[in-house]
A and B are shown apart, each in its own frame.
Chain A
Amino acid sequence: GAVVSQHPSRVICKSGTSVKIECRSLDFQATTMFWYRQFPKKSLMLMATSNEGSKATYEQGVEKDKFLINHASLTLSTLTVTSAHPEDSSFYICSARDGRTPGGGEQFFGPGTRLTVL
């Protein structure tokens, strides 16, 4: 299957700082990337959908000024958590889809980034 990488895998930062997480599709062109947040022992909560070259679509309740998403190329999307606070601590996972697949392709997940805000 296709490979999606995510960097960093783990980050610890002080409250008030901004953190950037990168999501890359390594062997396919991802026309659409998704960003999820997962709390311990909970399901994946979709935060936003990003399409290459256009603005991200945020889910209800997700602050777009807090979680900045950029999908500048077909292989890279970034999520920036701005002015992070302890309540932003979570496991963030991206996924990528090859939109050229008819009927909508499978989503391939990155390995996740564990963010801890002190």
Chain B
Amino acid sequence: GENVEQHPSTLSVQEGDSAVIKCTYSDSASNYFPWYKQELGKRPQLIIDIRSNVGEKKDQRIAVTLNKTAKHFSLHITETQPEDSAVYFCAAKFGNEKLTFGTGTRLTIIP
């Protein structure tokens, strides 16, 4: 089955700086890679996703890059703000299969 590793587990960055979270996956057939943001006690919210036919996708301050050859994808948050503080999860899946989640990254933005 799919295995997704996520690093780092915790990340603290100064407000205004950039944050990068990286994930690797094992199943080369995976073709959909979403990123979720989860605030304490709340549901995971999809913030950006990418499909395997694309190498990069950007939405304002958030971007995701995908390297299919190396089987890794990354989340980039620029100009970080205090409200970006949360736990971020990457995930991977193939077609209609189940999502496999990474272990999560607790991001803290230091004002």
**Contacts from A to B (Cβ < 8 Å):** 1, 32, 34, 41-44, 46, 49, 91, 93, 99, 103-104, 106-112, 114
Contacts and interface: CB of A to CB of B under 8 A. Distances in A.
A44 B46 CA distance: 14
A44 B89 contact: yes
B32 A104 contact: yes
A112 B103 CA distance: 18
Interface size class of B (residues with CB under 8 A): 20 to 34
A110 B43 contact: yes
Contact of B89 (A43, A99, A104, A110): A43
Interface in B53-111: 89, 93, 95-104, 106
Among A34, A43, A112, residue most surrounded by chain B Cβ atoms (within 10 Å): A43
Interface of B: 31-32, 34, 36, 41-46, 49, 51, 89, 93, 95-104, 106
Given A42-B104, A43-B103, A44-B89, A103 B46 contact: no
Contact of B96 (A42, A99, A108): A99
Contacts of B41: 91, 112, 114
